[in-house]
Structure 1
Amino acid sequence: MTVTVDVVGEETAECDLANDATYDDLIREAGYHPQEASVLVDGEPVPGDRVVDADEVQLLRLIKGGATDGDA
């Protein structure tokens, strides 16, 4: 199955997944870790262990960036 992933504030991508893939699998396929992002379907968050049942989702990054050597 192919799912369109709109990473909020960034890019939109297409992810190819197995038919039994979960939303956590989708997050990983999009290049993120499930602890740093959540998936929204029709504007509502969905559990990571739920099987993907939408063709289009939004991926909301909860953690972005970090401290660099110049930050203190």
Structure 2
Amino acid sequence: MQVTVEVVGEETREVEVGDDGTYADLIRAVDLSPHEVSVLVEGAPVPEDQPVEAPEVKVLRLIKGG
């Protein structure tokens, strides 16, 4: 399944995820850690261990270096 992953304020990527892929797999595919982000589907947070069902997700970084 092809998923559009938008890292809010940074970039948007197309990511291929298998049938048993989770939102944590999407996070790792964009080189982020599940500990530093929240995944949003239609504006609502989803658990990182949930199977991917949405064709588009937003990843919101909770920690940003500076």
TM-score, length of structure 1 as denominator length: 0.86
- Tell which structure's C-alpha radius of gyration is larger: 1
State the distance in 2 between where 1:38 and 1:28 align: 12
What 5-or-longer segments of structure 2 have no aligned partner?
A: none
Structure 2 residue 45 is the aligned partner of structure 1 residue 38: no
* Structure of greater relative contact order (alpha carbons < 8 Å, 6+ residues apart): 2
Quote the offset at 1:38 in angstroms.
Answer: 1.1
Query: Whose strand fraction is larger, Structure 1's or Structure 2's?
Result: 2
Instruction: Name the structure 2 match of 1:17.
Output: 17
For the aligned residue pairs, the C-alpha RMSD in angstroms reads 0.9
State the distance in 2 between where 1:3 and 1:16 align: 6
Quote the offset at 1:10 in angstroms.
Answer: 0.9
Identical positions, percent: 61
TM-score, length of structure 2 as denominator length: 0.93
